[in-house]
């Protein structure tokens, strides 16, 4: 599963989570409403007609309501009457004048379900009589509904099916929309990934996201042109510098070795030669890092012996004329164990030489440098450790976070370009390895490079 598929899968999962959250919140709101209604005494909001009826007593055919019954009517702004079996009013309290005093069976049947002349009413059956309690117009809403029992279950299932169909339809539309976006966005995401890795990109400039595609194509062309211009400039400068630099080195060496010249002149020639060599190394580093960055340096994979590789790097540094202030040692973590790896000999040699020279450059007062080779499982480990001055904590964090140290500055005011370590990182990367920087006790720096024995 690529990154774009994971992105849109998370997008779909987030949509499903939103729908589930939406349903949960709605269920919670409905439950909260019913709970609030219950706690708010909604269930007792209807007029307590049975209790009211109990406060009306009959004595010798005469009906009397106590004070509590009157208070109940007054609090509800209601009126009440009792009808006998013939529909005549035999007791009343606060009954509106416009209402009749006699009701037929049909009238009773009508207002028992609906309204009595627009007055909402409640009725209660007393033994041999009918208690009617009425309320002001618009005070209470009465409704009546009926349905056959055989239709109750189909209606309930139909309602549930409608909810499920709506949820599934919503999910389908979300997934369909996400799929359309995925088809449109996948080339864009792939294009961005190619741009980030330095590869050219060209997208079809059509569809709903044509403007974004066109912008990416334009950005890709600009970056490619910019990178090509920089690479061509570095190659041109390197080529133009090579010939005059060789002449400077040759004449400086000749002057330095001429014994008939004054000592001061020979020292000046030595300084010119050393700085010219630094300039030559800088140009070589620029060329190499450019080739590695733009994949212009094809890797020549071959089977190598890590110990022999480290021995060659140590010998190369020693043959360059290492000062007596430095001690350079080579050791094996597992002596006698045959180790072979697959890699580019020249690049790995350059990696080790750069790490060793880095210890020399940053410790001008001298130090002890130990190069060791070991293996574990399917990896080979190169370690370069010195007991020099070490580096600061911010610089150590910068190196371990794979950031350039070109912004760091020495106390002498000399800006450190960091090309040597950049090349080391690039070589480690193309060999699918890792690099780790750490402090050594009591002081110094340790660099550990772990490279797979087989690279693919």
Task: Note the CATH number of domain 301-406+416-452.
Answer: 3.30.565.10
Domains 210-293 and 301-406+416-452 share a fold: no
CA distances for 42 relative to 45, 76, 180, 212, 239, angstroms: 5, 15, 50, 59, 94
List, as own/partner pairs, every contact residues 116-119 make where C-beta atoms lie below 8 angstroms and the sequence separation is at least 24, other chains included. Answer: none
Cα angle 99, 104, 110; round to 5: 75
pLDDT band at residue 355, thresholds of 50, 70 and 90?
very high
- For residue 416, pLDDT over 60 is answered with no
Domain ranges of the chain: 3-41+146-187, 49-134, 210-293, 301-406+416-452
- pLDDT at position 294 is 62
Give 58's pLDDT tier (boundaries 50, 70, 90).
confident
* 170: confidence class by pLDDT, cuts 50, 70, 90: confident
pLDDT(299) > 90: no
**Which of residues 61 and 344 earns the better pLDDT score?**
344
Joined tokens for residue 334: 């597992």
The whole-angstrom separation of Cα 185 and Cα 364 is 55
Residue 413: pLDDT band with limits 50, 70, 90: very low
Q: Give the residue with greater pLDDT, 3 vs 402.
A: 402
Contact 187, 203 (CB under 8 A): yes
The tokens of 353 are what? Answer: 């030489």
pLDDT at residue 44 above 70? no
Q: Is the pLDDT higher at 36 or at 392?
A: 392
User: Nearest to residue 380, comparing CAs of 343, 348, 339, 338?
Assistant: 339
Residue 413 has, within 13 A of its CA and on its CB side, a CA count of: 0
Omega into 239 within 30° of 0, i.e. cis?
A: no
Instruction: Please write the tens of the pLDDT for every residue from 179-191.
Output: 777 777 777 777 7
Model pLDDT, residue 369: 93
> How confident is the model over 264-286, as a mean pLDDT?
82
Dig out the tokens for 265 from the structure: 């002149």
Mean pLDDT of the chain: 81
- CATH of 210-293, picked from 1.10.287, 1.10.1220, 3.30.2310, 3.30.70, is 1.10.287
pLDDT at res. 405 = 60
pLDDT tens figures, 217-241: 887 777 777 777 766 776 777 767 7
Higher-confidence position of 303 and 290: 303
């Amino acid at each position: 599963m690529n990154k774009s598929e994971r992105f849109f899968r998370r997008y779909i999962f987030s949509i499903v989570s939103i729908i589930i959250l939406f349903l949960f919140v709605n269920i919670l709101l409905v439950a909260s409403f019913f709970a609030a209604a219950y706690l708010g005494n909604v269930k007792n909001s209807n007029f307590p007609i049975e209790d009211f009826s109990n406060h009306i007593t009959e004595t010798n055919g005469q009906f009397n309501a106590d004070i509590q019954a009157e208070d109940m009517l007054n609090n509800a702004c209601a009126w009440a009457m009792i009808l006998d079996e013939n529909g005549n009013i035999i007791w009343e309290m606060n009954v509106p004048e416009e209402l009749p005093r006699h009701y037929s069976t049909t009238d009773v049947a009508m207002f028992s379900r609906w309204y009595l002349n627009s007055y909402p009413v409640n009725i209660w059956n007393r033994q041999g009589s009918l208690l009617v309690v009425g309320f002001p117009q618009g005070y209470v809403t009465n409704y009546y509904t009926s349905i056959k029992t055989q239709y109750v279950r189909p209606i309930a299932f139909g309602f549930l099916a409608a909810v499920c169909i709506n949820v599934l339809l919503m999910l389908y539309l979300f997934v369909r929309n996400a799929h359309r976006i995925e088809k449109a966005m996948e080339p864009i995401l792939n294009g961005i990934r190619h741009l980030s890795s330095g590869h050219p990109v060209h997208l079809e400039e059509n569809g709903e996201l044509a403007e974004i595609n066109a912008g990416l194509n334009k950005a890709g062309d600009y970056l490619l042109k910019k990178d090509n211009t920089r690479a061509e400039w570095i190659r041109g400068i390197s080529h133009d510098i090579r010939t005059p630099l060789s002449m400077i080195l040759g004449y400086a060496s000749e002057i330095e070795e001429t014994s008939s010249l004054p000592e001061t002149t020979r020292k000046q020639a030595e300084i010119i030669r050393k700085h010219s060599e630094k300039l030559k190394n800088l140009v070589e580093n620029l060329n190499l890092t450019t080739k590695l960055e733009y994949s212009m340096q094809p890797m020549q994979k071959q089977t190598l012996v890590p110990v022999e590789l480290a021995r060659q790097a140590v010998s190369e540094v020693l043959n360059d004329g290492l000062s007596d202030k430095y001690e350079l040692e080579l050791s094996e973590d597992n002596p006698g164990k045959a180790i072979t790896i697959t890699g580019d000999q020249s690049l790995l040699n350059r990696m080790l030489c750069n790490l060793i020279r880095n210890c020399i450059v940053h410790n001008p007062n001298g130090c002890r440098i130990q190069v060791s080779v070991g293996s574990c499982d399917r990896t080979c480990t190169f370690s370069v450790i010195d007991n020099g001055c070490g580096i600061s904590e911010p610089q150590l964090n910068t190196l371990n976070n794979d950031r350039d140290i070109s912004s760091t500055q020495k106390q002498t005011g000399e800006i450190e370009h960091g090309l040597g370590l950049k090349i080391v990182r690039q070589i480690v990367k193309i060999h699918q390895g890792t690099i780790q920087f750490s402090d050594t006790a009591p002081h110094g720096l340790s660099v550990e490079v772990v490279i797979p024995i087989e690279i693919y």
